[in-house]
Structure 1
Amino acid sequence: MDKIKTLKFFNDWCKNTLMETLSIEFIDVGEDFLTAKMPVDSRVHQPMGLLHGGASVALAESVGSSATMLFLDPEKFEVRGIEISANHLKSKRAGTVFATAKIIHKGRSLHLWEIRIVDEQDQLISLCKLTNMVLPKRKVND
């Protein structure tokens, strides 16, 4: 795997999407994991000035769904997140959070991921679990 090419693919893929809106950037990749970072500022705060749980879940699903693509040919397959759960364990007001998706189960049609969201000191902020469905790519008319 060409790490630089793979990260460029994922970052380019996110143009004009929620991931770009949230400034999510893919920063590391391996054979069975993908990592992205997201700044924590007013764009992702809830009214009390803390990282919004929904922003954390958006980060987790973005990383986990993208990670499934590590195992697929994007010309032939698509990914749909079908279930996500999140436990928010620590609050965060500013800085950066890092989400790493690691595969738990890789079936032909279902992938199960654990996504750990940590801060700059590697303290666990949220622990998420995502199930993705792998589908054959359809033509636009289908």
Structure 2
Amino acid sequence: MIWKKPVTLEILNATSKNTIMEHLNIVYSELTEDSISATMPVDHTTHQPLGMLHGGASVVLAETLGSLAANMCVDDNAYCVGLDINANHIRAKRRGVVTGTTKPIHIGVSTQVWQIEIVDEEQRLLCTSRITMAVKQRK
């Protein structure tokens, strides 16, 4: 297992209180030995003006997953912050629920790289994203 901190869905969801994750109704939904998944509704809170899932909302979901996962992979003397994120928007979605899943590509001493795939209810790929995280030491 890659997690260095206690991690349960209850603990993860508690971190969303009073954040953008709570505002967008992002809910952590699955936890495995090397991945974290979360759902997000596609509705008026996540639409862009044409009535489709806003690319920025997809990036929020991706960054949420990658950042949280990275921070769960370091001990209490370290924390992770984002250096770079990219996203390729593959397919539009107008309503329903999307699920993002993050898995590590690289977990190093000074950087981490995470891949995030966002799919619809039929497991069709909507967005693929990659985030690079800097590992910082607490002073």
Bigger shift: 31-40 or 116-125? 31-40
Structure 2 counterpart of 1:36, one-letter code: A
- Where in structure 2 are there 5+ consecutive unaligned residues? none
Structure 1 counterpart of 2:106, one-letter code: H
- TM-score normalised by structure 1 residue count: 0.90
Q: 1:85 matched to which residue of 2?
A: 86
Q: 1:125 matched to which residue of 2?
A: 126
Q: 1:116 matched to which residue of 2?
A: 117
Structure 2 counterpart of 1:8, one-letter code: E
Quick check: 2:7–2:72 contact (8 Å CA) kept in 1?
Answer: no
Match of 2:73 among 56, 71, 85: 71
| Residue-by-residue CA offset, 1:42-97 (whole Å, 9 max, x unaligned) | 11100000000000000000001011123123x32222111000000000010000
The offset of 1:137, in angstroms, is: 2.7
Q: 2:47 matched to which residue of 1?
A: 45
Aligned residues: 136
Q: State the alpha-carbon separation in 2 of the partners of residues 66 and 112 from structure 1.
A: 12
Structural RMSD (CA): 1.7
More helix by percentage: 1
Structure 2 counterpart of 1:111, one-letter code: Q
Q: State the alpha-carbon separation in 1 of the partners of residues 42 and 125 from structure 2.
A: 15
Consecutive aligned runs of 4 or more in structure 1 exceeding 2 Å deviation = none
Q: Does 1:94 align with 2:95?
A: yes
Q: 1:134 matched to which residue of 2?
A: 135
Q: State the alpha-carbon separation in 1 of the partners of residues 120 and 91 from structure 2.
A: 10
Q: State the alpha-carbon separation in 2 of the partners of residues 44 and 137 from structure 1.
A: 35
Q: State the alpha-carbon separation in 1 of the partners of residues 45 and 56 from structure 2.
A: 12
The offset of 1:5, in angstroms, is: 5.2
Give the percent of matched residue pairs that are identical in Structure 1 and Structure 2.
44
Q: Does 1:18 align with 2:32?
A: no
Q: Does 1:30 align with 2:14?
A: no
| Residue-by-residue CA offset, 1:106-129 (whole Å, 9 max, x unaligned) | 101111011000000000000001
